[in-house]
Each structure stands twice: as structure tokens, then as C-alpha cells.
Amino acid sequence: MAGHFDCHAWITVSQSYRVEVLLRTMMKQMYESRKQSPPVRVDAMDGVELISICRDYIYDKSYIVVFDDVWKEDFWRHIEHALLDNNKGSRILMTTRSMNTAEFCKKSSLVHVHNLEPLPLEQAQELLRRTAFQYDEDKQCPEELNGLTFELVKRCEGLPLAVVAIAGLLATKGKDVGQWKRLLDSLSAELDSSPHLSYVKQILSFSYYDLPYHLKGCFLFMGMFPEDYPISCKRLIRLWIAEGFVKGKHNMTLEEVAMTYLSELINRSLVQVSVIDSIGNVRNCQLHDLMREVVVSKSKELSFIQTCPENLSNHYRVARHLSICNKSNNFPMVVGNYQTHSAIFFDIEELPKSFCFLQFTKSKLLKELDFEGAPLTYIPEELGNLFNLKYLSIRDTKVKKLPRSIAYYKDKQSIYSINTRRGMKLYSNFGSLESLEKLYEVDLEAYSGGNFFRELARLKRLRKLCITKLKSESVNALCDAIQQMIHLQSLRISSIKEEELLHLHKMSSPPVFLRCLRLRGRLMKLPGWIYELRNLTKLTLEWSRISDDSLQILGVLPNLLFFWIFEGYSGAQLHFHKNHFKKLKDLRLCWLNDLKRLIIDEGSLTLVEHLELGPSPQLEELPATISHLKCLKTLSFNNMPMESVRKLLPDGGSDHWKVRHIPNIYFLYFTVKGTQHETYKLGDSRLLELLS
């Protein structure tokens, strides 16, 4: 449907919202739907500015916007002025559980209210079969189970969420008639014994009770995240591990085991997938609102989670997990207790003066502290009193230095993750954190001498490392330290400036399990050890200015899926040879100013789905063999000359035959390097206007 409109957005509203946040999210999605960057100041704009810029943006565009899960009657009054009727066939959809909310919208707009009815039994039965057997090879329901599927959907009363939940549960039972019959009997007994619960909640609760023991804690922990919150799978998995929910298995890392847990919850239809990356991996997930209500209810019953701010009841004194959300601007005066295992902060715009970090230091059982996105400026030395701390996230905070006290206690060696996205300074003896698995990111500008790298070499269990502002004279010491990290899977190295030369060749034994590598700095020639990385799936080169043919040898890496180059190659010709890059899915060749000729042999790049080119002002023509890239879904050109664009036009373009098999072709234009200005899609009337 989105393809019929110039731009689109899907906004989840929920019970508590801020109008500015909704407008900001809507604007960002509209820009992103056209592969454009939103205005630079969008995050600093107030409501009036956001409404004005939104109206200006959609003035000449058809758009569709979905507002999902609206609760408050006056919601439309807050938002309607941003969405003008421009006679372009635009549409606004709103979902709500409240008829009063729908009726309120009628007062100011032409509204059609569509009441969702329960599914007919036949459709409900088909939905159950399709969901329960979606992972089977034949995807068919055996004849002997048809009668039971009919009885099960009758108990679901046509409610799609209930049908899907039961189907997810059935998917774990195989095709055994006896197990299906026992499940039907148990479900009937549960529904008859809990008349106080809504029907769908009873069914969802039943799905929870059927979970194996090792998944129940993981599932309940997801109630820590606010309603409709996009849950990062990586973040969730790290928290599960720190809490001790994940048990080791032979030949599998804890992260891999945790991912199987999450996959099982998804397969049971208890968790929804919200974002998938280009190779099919789940990046974000979330709970359906009703499923979350079941989780929160069960968590309170078990004193498992306390959500703040709420009316703090007595059970907070024994709740093991604390979720602190500041959307209501009612920050709790008392947080943390002697039983608290974890504390996570969400949507904190400001920490009031009444907030005291030291409240957490009495929580001797605390394992996880997650301040992601909070306006935190420092961490006190008293953090060293938290002997059981395993996970500390200061990502997107203002913290620049960790306290020395973290290393004072031997028990602190259990910390396995320190997470930040700004340059961070470590204390002098940080190497004592021998169990640390993630260190992201460290600013080297604050260090001098070799002590830092001696301490870094002690972190032999690191799996993810990010180093920024590296100088040439420190490269050898860094290479020596990295060789000690035999478990390393992700490495990012960035030089202090674009011209800084990084001689990364002194590494005789690179980490063999390395999967992601990003090098940002002048290389001139690729280090020989890169070709030994048989497990590498993602490689990014920035500023490297490689001028020889060493890039071609990368084509033999057996598992490379992503290959991105930004100012990474200064040669005049780039050749992709036959049978090279056999698994590559995403290729980006950007800012290659000296490139004159691109050669793609037939039989190369056969699985590439996304290709981005330019700016390359000297590139003579698009290779004809691009027509052989049958898997290509998206082709993007940056700052492509207008004459070259005309050659690709469907009507009369001399080179259109090369790209006619590609569903999505975009032309991106920048005003300043790295600042996106406008995006056009091949076939868009706006593109023709630009060319005329």
C-alpha cells in the first residue's frame, strides 16, 4: 500500500504520549520513507515548528499516516493541524479500542469508522493452521487434527490474537493428536476457572503457563520495557545474560543460546518481530499490548517487576527488577531496594535534583544498571560497592569517565559489558575486569604511554571492541593487544583524523572468530591478515584510500555479506571477478572520486540485493553486466550527473535495459558532503521535473 503514496509513517501512540515526540517521529518516518535525511534541527524543534515543517513538507505530496493504538479522545485535536488536506488522495488511519475516541474525531473531520468483527470460524481455523504449521516442510495440517483445530478456534471466539497465541503454542506440540487433545482440555479448564479475566487474556495467560521454565523469566523480563517500546534484541539478550537467565551450551556462546530463546518466543507468537535487517536477522522486537498486560499482571503477582513512576505499593520493596520511565514527569523519589537485581531507565529527559545515584549503592544484589539515553553526567565512586554488577550501559549519556572503584574488588571481574556510544575514558587498571566481553567505545586521545594497551591486552574475553582517535604511533601496541583477544567478534578502529596513517600489518594471529570489522583511517594497502578472516560477514573501510588490487582478494572471503567503502579506494578501475563475493548481499561504493571504470564479471555478486554507487564524478558508464544481478532489489546513486540519469529513464533511456529488472532505483543528491538534500525514485514525476 505504501507504494501508492509519496511518503508514509506508522506511529504507535499508546496511553501516554507527548505531542512533540509523535510529530517528530512522524516527520522522521516521512523523510526516511523517501530515503531522505530529516532536517538537522528536528530533534530541537518545538510543537509549533514541527507542525509548520510538516505542513510544508506534505503540501505537494500524497501521504498515508497510521496512528496505531489511540486511547485519548482529544488526540486528534492535538495532531490534526499538522496534516493538511491537499487534495492529493492522502489517507489517515487510526486504530483504537474506544468508540468514544472514534466518535470524537467525527466532530472535526470526515471520518469513516470501521468496526473490526471477530473472524468467522472458517477464517479463524485457516489462520490457526497457517500459523501452527508455518515451519513445517509441507505446511499442511494432518487430517486427524482438523477436528481439534475447529474446537480450539471456537474457544478463541474469533479473536485473531488469541488464535495466533494458541497456534504458536501448538507449534511446539508437533502433530501428536494426544498432545493436542490434552492442550484443548487444559485450555477449557483454564477458561472455565478464570471468569474474572477477559477471554483473550485467559488464552494469553495459558500460553505463558505452557512455557518451559528457562523461558518464563526471559519472557516476564520483557515487561521491563514500556508499552509499544521497540526492544533492541542485542540489548535484551545482554540483559538476560547478566541476570543469569541464559545457561551455557556446548559449542555455543551465551549470545547464541539467548538468541535461540528469543526465537522460540517468536515462534510461539508471544513476541512480535518489528525490524529485520537486510539478511533476515531480527533487530528489534516488541510485545503486543494485551500480551504485555498479561506479563505485567503476572510480574506484579510474583513481585518480579516494579514499574516507576506508579503508585508505589508495598511490593516494590521486594520487586527484583525496576523499570523507571519518566514520560509522566513524575520521577520517583525512592528507587532501588535491597532485593533489586536490575534497574533500567527509559525516556528520561532530565534527572531532577532529588535523584540520588547513591540510592542504588545499597542494592548489593544489583546485576544490571542501564542508563541508556539518560542525561547522566557522571558515575560516583560508590559504584564499586556493587559487588554483583555484571552489566553497565551508559550509551547515549554524557558520562566520559568511569570511576576507579570498579577495579577495587575482585568480584568486579564478573562485569561482562560496558556500553557507551561516546568516547569514554577508563581508569588506569581497567585490565582487572577480566570477564569483560564488550567495551564500546574508548577515546584514546586522553591516553599516553603504553600502559593503556598493556591493560587492554588483559581483556582476553572481549567479544566487541571499539577504539577511537587512534594515532599512528600507537598502532603496533594495539595490534599486539588485539592478538590476545581470541574471542573477539566485532572490532572497530578509528583514527584521530582522516590523514592519519594506520599501519595495521603487525598482527600475525588475528582473532579467527571476527565477524564485523570497521577500519576508519588511511591504510594505503589492506593488511594481509584480513584475508584469513574466514568468519567475517561485514567489512567497512573509510578513508583508507587503497590504490592497489588488494580489494579484489576480499572476494574469496567465504562468508562476507556486507562490504561498504567510503573514500576507501583511490584506483581508476575496480574489478569484481567471476565467482568472487559469492554470498555478498549489500555493496556500497561511495565517494570514490578517482574511479573511472567499474567492471562486474558475469558470475560475480550473484546474491547482491542492495547496491549503492557514487559520488564518482569520473565514472564513465554503468557496467552492462549489472543486468545479470538478478537478486538486486535496490540500486542507489549518489550525486549522479543528470545526463547519466536520463540514460536510465524508462522511456527512451539508452541504458534502461541494464536496470529494468530492479524494483527500486533511487537518485540521492547532497548539498554538502554527507548531508542528504533530496531523493528521487526512477519513474517519479518529480524526477522528470528535475530533468526538464
Percent of the chain whose pLDDT exceeds 90: 35
- What average pLDDT does range 242-262 have in this prediction? 89
Amino acid at 306: Q
**DSSP string computed for 487-531:** T--EEEEEESSTT-B------SS--TT--EEEEESB-SS--GGGG
479: helix, coil or strand? helix
Q: Are 176 and 234 part of one and the same domain? A: no
Q: Same domain for 341 and 423?
A: yes
Residue 265 or residue 552, greater confidence: 265
Cell numbers for 204, please give them: 494469553
Residues 143, 58: one domain? no
pLDDT band at 315 (very low <50, low <70, confident <90, very high): very low
Which residue from 669, 687, 685 is spatially nearest to 35, judged by alpha carbons?
669
Stretch 334-352: mean pLDDT, rounded? 75
Q: Do residues 592 and 678 share a domain?
A: yes
Does the pLDDT of residue 680 top 70, yes or no? yes
Pairing of strands 321-325, 342-346: parallel
CA of 44: how far to CAs of 18, 20, 192, 421, in Å?
14, 10, 53, 20
Of 26-30, 203-207, 368-372, minimum mean pLDDT range: 203-207
147 lies in the same domain as 255: no
Pair 322, 381 in one domain: yes
* pLDDT higher than threshold 90 for residue 409: no
573 falls within a domain:
no
pLDDT of res. 209: 86
Last residue of a domain, one of 153, 176, 209: 209
Containing domain of residue 160, as a range? 121-209
Cell of 354: 532529588
Establish if 547 belongs to a structural domain.
no
Q: Which three cell numbers stand for residue 490?
A: 566485532
What domain count does the chain have? 5
Closest CA to 529 of 546, 547, 514, 543: 514
Asked, as a colleague might, if the bond just before 615 is cis with ω within 30 of 0, I would say yes
Number of helical H runs and strand E runs in the chain: 19, 25
Three cell numbers, residue 534: 574466514
Task: Dump pLDDT digits (tens) for 122-181.
Answer: 898 999 888 888 877 777 888 888 888 888 888 777 788 788 888 888 888 888 888 888
Report how far residue 82's alpha carbon sits from residue 25's, in angstroms, rounded to the nearest whole number: 13
Question: Is residue 74 in some structural domain?
Answer: yes
Grid cell at residue 555: 572476494
Distance CA 559, CA 581 (A): 8
Tell the residue number behind the cell numbers 481455523, with chain if given.
125
Q: At 160, list the grid cell.
A: 485473531
591 within some domain = yes
Contacts of 194-197 with C-beta under 8 Å, sequence gap 24+, read: none
The larger pLDDT score, comparing residue 193 to residue 274, is at: 274
Q: Tell me if 640 is assigned to some domain.
A: yes
Residue 646 has pLDDT above 50, yes or no: yes
Question: Does residue 556 fall inside a structural domain?
Answer: no
Based on the domain organization, do 9 and 41 belong to the same domain?
yes
CA distances from 355 to 98, 331, 510, 603 (A): 37, 8, 46, 62
Could you tell me which residues are beta bridge partners of residue 421? none
Same domain, 100 and 127: no
CATH number of the CATH domain containing 44: 3.40.50.300
Residues 287 and 190 in one domain: no
For residue 566, what are the CA distances in angstroms to 10, 421, 467, 519, 622?
32, 21, 19, 10, 19
Confidence grade of residue 671 (pLDDT, cut at 50, 70, 90): low
Q: Determine, yes or no, domain membership for 508.
A: no
Max Cα-Cα span within the chain: 76
Do 86 and 64 have their domain in common? yes
Q: What confidence category does residue 313 fall into, taking pLDDT thresholds of 50, 70 and 90?
A: very low
> According to the model, what pLDDT value does residue 428 have?
74
Residue 99 pLDDT > 50: yes
- Inter-CA distances, 261 with 240, 241, 254, 269, 489, Å: 10, 11, 11, 13, 21
Give the three-class secondary structure for 418: strand
The DSSP result for 286-340, as a single string, is E--HHHHHHHHHHHHHTT-EEEESS---GGGGT-SEEEEE-TTS---S----TT-
For residues 188 and 115, give the distance between their C-alpha atoms in angstroms, rounded to a whole number: 28
> Given 274, 293, 312, which residue is the final one in a domain?
293
Higher pLDDT, 279 or 392: 392
Question: Which of 186, 209, 232 finishes a domain?
Answer: 209
- 164 in the same domain as 136: yes
Q: Are residues 228 and 266 in the same domain?
A: yes
Q: What share of the chain is helix, strand, coil (3-state, %, to 5)?
A: 35, 20, 45
Q: How far is CA 208 from the centre of its chain?
A: 26
Q: Judge whether 272 lies within some domain.
A: yes
Kindly report the CATH number assigned to the domain that includes residue 254: 1.10.10
Beta bridge partners of 636: 612, 666
pLDDT for the residue 609 = 94
Is a pLDDT exceeding 80 seen at residue 618? yes
Q: Which of 58-62, 65-69, 171-175, 217-221 has the highest mean pLDDT?
A: 217-221
